[in-house]
Amino acid sequence: MKRLEDYVVSIPDFPEPGVMFRDVTSILQDAEGLHMAIDQLLLMLDGVDFDVVVGPESRGFIFGMPVAYAKNRAFVPIRKKGKLPRETVSATYDLEYGTATIEMHKDAIRPGQKVAIVDDLIATGGTTEAIIKMIEELGGEVVKICFVMELAGLKGREKLAGYDVDSAIIYEGK
C-alpha cells in the first residue's frame, strides 16, 4: 500500500536553486492520494472538540472544506486582503521579501468557539500565526492545527508553540 508521501512530487531547484519544492497538487491529482490526505486530516481531529474549521486561501480551502463537511462543522475561509465583501479583521505577516495581509469576516468566529485550522503546508509558520491572531482577536480558541505537509527545517512549528499541531508528512529539510 502506498503512503501519502508517495503521492508528493518533489521538484529540485524550484523556485530557486537549492530549494526542494514539495508539490501538493500531485496528491490532488490522484483520487487515492486525495482520499488518503483527507482521511489523515480527519484522524488528526478524532476526539478533538471543535465547532468550526478555518482554512486559508487557496489550498486550505481544498483540504479544509471536506474535513468540515465530514465532521459536520462550519467552514471559515481566510482570504487575501480585499477579497471579502463584509466587515473584516486582518493580520499582516512577514514574507521572505515583504509582507502580506490576510482577512476573515468579523462575524465568522463567535466568542468561545473552538477552532481547528486546516492547511496544506507549514513552512515558516507566518500565515498560521496570523490566522491564530485573528481567531483570538474575535474570541475564538484554536484547539488544533492540521497540515498535510511540514517543512521542519524552516522551524514554523516554533511560532506555534503552545498549540496542538499535527502534520501528515514531515520533511526534515527546507
Residues 54 and 135 sit within 8 Å (Cβ to Cβ): yes
Taking the CB of residue 115, how many other CB atoms lie within 10 A of it? 24
Residue in 87, 96, 158, 172 annotated catalytic: 96
Amino acid at 63: F
Q: Is 59 a catalytic residue?
A: yes
Q: Is 96 a catalytic residue?
A: yes
What is the spatial distance between Cα 36 and Cα 137, in angstroms, rounded to a whole number?
34
Residue in 59, 129, 137, 141 annotated catalytic: 59
- How far apart, in Å, are the Cα atoms of 23 and each of 14, 26, 47, 81? 10, 6, 30, 25
Q: Return the C-alpha cell found at 2.
A: 502506498
Catalytic positions are 59, 96
